[in-house]
Amino acid sequence: MRLPLVAGNWKMHKDHREAVDLVRELDGLLAGLEGVEVAVCPPFTALSDVARTLKESRSRIVLGAQGGYRAPEGAYTGEISPRMLKALEVHYVIVGHSERREIIGEGDQLVAAKARAVLEEGMVPILCVGETLEEREEGKAESKVRGQLESALAAWSSDEASALVIAYEPIWAIGTGKTATPEDAQEMNSFIRGWLAERFGQDTASGVRILYGGSVKPDNAAELMAMPDVDGALVGGASLKAADFAAIARFRE
């Protein structure tokens, strides 16, 4: 059985003080929650304070980050290395988010290199894939996602892939209030699992958690995560409100 993962991607929100307030409130609201892993991915400037807060309160919330460069260190002005994230006890790192691909211009090769760099530091990439509305309407959603998987995971062995988390995030559903239907999410997540089975074998494929992301809210979380191949959620906007994010994490209740 795959342990559901509900991860909050805070994007470029919350300074280090606001981040500590949010994670404290969230931790209180999650008391007693079993059978769901909860992670938060604050901006870089808040990671250190959030890490300390989680440690001091012995929280079960897992720390994630929103990226990191592909090299352990070096002359890369403005970048953060996976090694620095590891030193803060970061466990998950979001890689290949559509906002980085579309707004910052990260290409498939860089996404692949970043995913490997995260793996090599012993952390877990949350690899994001997903199509635009135009690609969906033209019937190209699966080929887009297949291409993203092929390029990002070209150098991965089955053993390595078993540690991976994938997030299917249709670009048209991000921050728009338009959620994919549970059936849409299931269809793509099952396609992704099929691809993983072909590439890495059935055992690996059945262990990989495949999340859905895109306008996940308290009122649609349960039906999305009830789908057999939707193993959790990557939540943007709703992860900035402790009550909403806690309600999503408590989707079974």
Annotated catalytic sites, by residue?
97, 169
List the structure tokens of 185.
Answer: 């999410």
H and E: helices and strands count for the chain: 12, 8
Q: Residue 211's CB: how many other CB atoms inside 10 A?
A: 26
Size of residue set near ligand 13P by CB under 6 A: 14
CA distance 72 to 80: 9
- Exactly one of 141, 216, 248, 249 binds ligand 13P (CB under 6 A); that residue is 216
- Exactly one of 184, 213, 231, 232 binds ligand 13P (CB under 6 A); that residue is 213
CB 67 within 8 A of CB 95: yes
List the structure tokens of 93.
Answer: 């790192």
Which region among 67-75, 101-109, 180-188, 229-237 touches ligand 13P (by CB under 6 A)?
229-237
Cβ-proximal residues to 171 (8 Å cutoff; 6+ apart), any chain: 98, 102, 130, 131, 132, 133
Residue 67 binds ligand 13P (CB under 6 A):
no
Q: Toward ligand 13P, which CB reaches closer, 38 or 204?
A: 38
Site for ligand 13P in 110-169 (CB under 6 A): 169
CA distance 62 to 81: 19
- Exactly one of 65, 149, 161, 174 binds ligand 13P (CB under 6 A); that residue is 174
Which region among 25-33, 75-83, 150-158, 209-217 touches ligand 13P (by CB under 6 A)?
209-217
Which region among 19-27, 57-65, 108-116, 207-215 touches ligand 13P (by CB under 6 A)?
207-215
CA distance 181 to 187: 10
Q: Which residues bind ligand 13P (CB under 6 A)?
A: 9, 97, 169, 174-175, 213-216, 234-238
